[in-house]
Amino acid sequence: MRIGILGGTFDPIHRGHVHAAQIASERLRLDAVWLVPTGAPPHRTPPSASALDRFAMVCLASQDHPSFVPSSVEVERPGTSYTVDTVSRLREQASGATFHLIVGSDTFPEMGTWRDLPRLVTMCRVAVVLRPGAPALPAALPEWADPLEGLGVDVSATLVRKRSGHGEELSGLVAPCVAEHIRKRGLYR
């Protein structure tokens, strides 16, 4: 079994995240893409929405994608969420599977600051999806990283939160069911 892992704060999950998961799924011939909302991210301020709301939005965004599997592994775990610990835990849940960690080209340069990167890259390949507006990838990537052909969608969670905060339409940025959840719960206001 070939499994992709796409983690993030998903505050909220948007079309860019879904498109990155689709690109990775197609290019790497993945059997599943596990979407993992971060519990307590180590590299940024805490998310605006609660862990429960962010997980709910991931579940909603996954409804129309049979190979997408929402995972609550990080939101259920107390303390700071480190990717190396998450990948280790997910490997226990699917022993024998081959794992591909999906990251955007905007995140890739930060990986050098991640906890125990040498151990992480022994547990999975890193698939890099090109994100519009992000700096170009280096000509020579590390042996453990694979650039994926296909450009991501130019959407950011910051834009979604800003538009929601102004009461603006979220159509085209997030799935309709996610927009409805944001509206009903009064998120990002």
The DSSP symbol for 67 reads T
Please, what is the Cα angle at 149 between 116 and 89, to 5 degrees? 30
CA distance 83 to 89: 10
Cα angle at 175 between 32 and 33, to 5 degrees?
Answer: 10
pLDDT, tens digit, for every residue of 129-171? 998 888 888 888 999 999 998 878 889 999 999 999 999 999 9
State how far Cα 187 lies from the chain centre: 20
Spans of all domains in the chain: 2-154
Cβ neighbours for 129, distance < 8 A, ≥ 6 positions apart: 20, 23, 24, 102, 103, 104, 105, 148, 150, 152
Packed helices 51-62 and 176-185: angle between N→C axes, nearest 10 degrees: 150
CATH of domain 2-154: 3.40.50.620
Task: Look at residue 42 in the predicted model and tell me its pLDDT.
Answer: 84
- Each residue of 56-115: pLDDT tens digit? 999 999 999 999 999 999 999 988 989 999 999 999 999 899 999 999 998 999 999 999
pTM of the predicted structure, to 2 decimals: 0.94
**Per-residue pLDDT, 133:** 80
